[in-house]
Structure 1
């Protein structure tokens, strides 16, 4: 990854280097130019500045961890675990925001976290409209994009299954910072998986509070699933344990990815917390091809001059070429989220 030294990035001083430090686990970065609250733009210079070198180091650190997981995903793909037909597919991933087909408030990211073997992937497959699978394969990282057309409006829901980030704290923290809502999953027959969910919830609250400069842990939109309710084995986690530790106001559902128990309620809660229509729940819309969806959106855009909104049954399509955005893109997403709630001092980095 190369950084364009002519591109100007405006980063909030109070907190951005703390975020870099938390991403890498390194000691606090200091710079003489940041010791004053009245910051002047850094002048043009033929050499890369110390701050730019720091940014390059951060990017290389996180990108290195990403490459390790990409290699694993590539090996899985080559072995036939994930095959996508290239017949009649778009030439590139569909981004409704970039194409001007969806409003920013209609673009949403859900981050899925939890211990291994608790059923995260199968719950996610249910949300995407796919079938339950008995075969377990460890997930390194999966990124999915589901495009909805509901009531004449387009919605884009990105889902990041960050299961493989347990051993990559920097990457996990970035995933948390980019998430709008969170789906945390544990198994009702595994107490350790529940303990991990409680730790993840605390981490999410702390990360969001730091990003938004809050004095107390942030209240975040989280749905928690106690999965494998269909098993006849003794429970390791009771409902009273959940309410005592996580509180009575948490959106908690006992679910079964196998038979679908509780999933409809969990998906509707995700929609409600994220400000999305109820029709984003799998049972409330039909799946169509990506090409049909594109034609529908383009046709709708052609009627913008009319006051009558498009009608029709709620529908959705999967983007078969969706890939997780780059580290730089995700970092910019985080910074935009921060500036929505604050008016930070700005540091001119080249």
Structure 2
């Protein structure tokens, strides 16, 4: 039996539906197409209903204090994207490609609480100081990456540190010195023979309030320690580390949030970078309130 024969209704059924005892071939064909169209529309409505159900999930139920934005900064080609991929639970990508997707959202369910971590790779804003400054002002935690075989990339990280320190000092009005929410990574430690920046040069350039790690996004060297430090700075549970939770689909995540106790996480496929307008309103609002009343990342 052919595929088309399986899809068509018997002629007798069509006769009853159309009230023509001896329908013409053209009328039979029209009836078959009409019924198939109704079936297709029914399937489409079912799929749309599932999408709407998924959209109702619950990033909006995350408490404001459990929402954090990690801003990733550094020169091109130093390994920022692969470090983000590792955090999202993805594999290392050997071939270098310029960043095209710069915003990701990962949702966690740990100990009965929900957490939202947004990762913004601000590589596209490298040559736009105003946009980069806005991303810095709206960031809660910063991951700065340079390559151990590239002195210029390290110089860029030092400049970024000064920029972050200056920007945050304008928002946090405190007489005591506040620790910078920054983790610095000297990446590509696997290329030891090509290294041009010594450990002593790094420690001399960085202040004690900045956490530093030598990493290899390719081999996974020290990445777990980096993610643990990011969690500590942001007040997140250790289970947000990629090896400490189960990565599941969005629908499974919804179910586990209601019934499961095991730490789990999902990557939100519908997340989009907030507009610069909403970021600007956030900055202007935070300057007049000590604590925001809503989630900082919408």
Deviations 1:196-221 (A, max 9, x none): 00000100111111233568986320
Q: Paired residue for 1:166, among 126, 134, 138?
A: 126
Q: Pick closer, same or farther for the CA change 1:116–1:90 going to 2, 3 Å.
A: farther
Distance (whole Å) between structure 1 residues aligned to residue 119 and residue 172 of structure 2: 23
Q: Once the 2 structures are TM-superposed, how far is the Cα of residue 141 of structure 1 from its aligned partner?
A: 5.2
More displaced stretch, 212-221 vs 145-154 = 212-221
Match for residue 160 of structure 2 among 188, 192, 200: 200
Give a deviation string over 1:97-117, Cα, whole Å, max 9, x none. Answer: 6x3x22111011000000000
Distance 1:272 1:321, change over 3 A: same
TM-score, scaled to structure 1? 0.65
User: Which segments of 5 or more consecutive residues in structure 1 lack a partner in the other structure?
Assistant: 1-85, 301-310, 343-350
Counterparts in 2 of 1:92 and 1:291: CA distance versus 1, 3 Å: closer
Q: RMSD of the TM alignment (CA)?
A: 2.4
Correspondence list, 1:210-229, <5 A: 210-213=170-173, 219-229=179-189
1:248 aligns with 2:212: no
**4+ runs of 1 displaced by more than 3 Å?**
88-97, 212-219
Separation in structure 1 between the aligned mates of residue 57 and residue 80 of structure 2, nearest angstrom? 25
Q: Which has the higher contact order (CA 8 A, sep 6+)?
A: 1
State the Cα deviation string for residues 6-65 of structure 1 (Å, max 9, x = none): xxxxxxxxxxxxxxxxxxxxxxxxxxxxxxxxxxxxxxxxxxxxxxxxxxxxxxxxxxxx
| Change in 2 beyond 3 A, CA 1:92/1:113 | farther
Whole-Å separation in 1 of the counterparts to 2:175 and 2:262 = 45
8 A Cα contact 2:107 2:268, kept in partner: yes
- Whole-angstrom CA distance in 2 between matches of 1:193 and 1:92: 41
Structure number, greater radius of gyration: 2
Distance 1:223 1:93, change over 3 A: farther
CA distance in 2, matches of 1:131, 1:119: 13
Does the alignment pair 1:281 with 2:241? yes
Alignment match, 2:272: 323
Kindly state the Cα deviation for residue 89 of structure 1 after the two structures are TM-superposed: 5.2
* 1:341 correspondence with 2:290: yes
- What SS does the corresponding residue of 1:233 show, helix, strand or coil? helix
Return the TM-score normalized by structure 2: 0.76
| Cα distance, 1:328–1:154 mapped onto 2, change above 3 Å | same
CA separation of 1:274 and 1:147: change in aligned 2, threshold 3 A:
same
Q: Check 1:90–1:317 CA distance in 2 against 1; reply closer, same or farther (3 A cut).
A: farther
Moved more, 149-158 or 131-140: 131-140
5+ residue gaps in structure 2? 1-47, 292-298
**Does the 8 Å contact 2:151/2:197 carry over to 1?**
yes
- Whole-angstrom distance in 1 between the partners of 2:58 and 2:165: 29
Displacement of 1:140:
4.8
Deviation at 1:233?
A: 2.5
**Contact map agreement 1:206 1:218 (CA 8 A) in 2:** no
Find out whether 1:117 has 2:77 as its counterpart: yes
Q: Which secondary structure state, in structure 1, belongs to the residue aligned with residue 287 of structure 2?
A: helix
Q: Give me the whole-angstrom Cα distance separating, in 2, the residues matched to 1:142 and 1:90.
A: 25
Alpha-carbon distance in structure 1 between the residues aligned to 2:277 and 2:225: 35
**Larger relative helix fraction:** 2
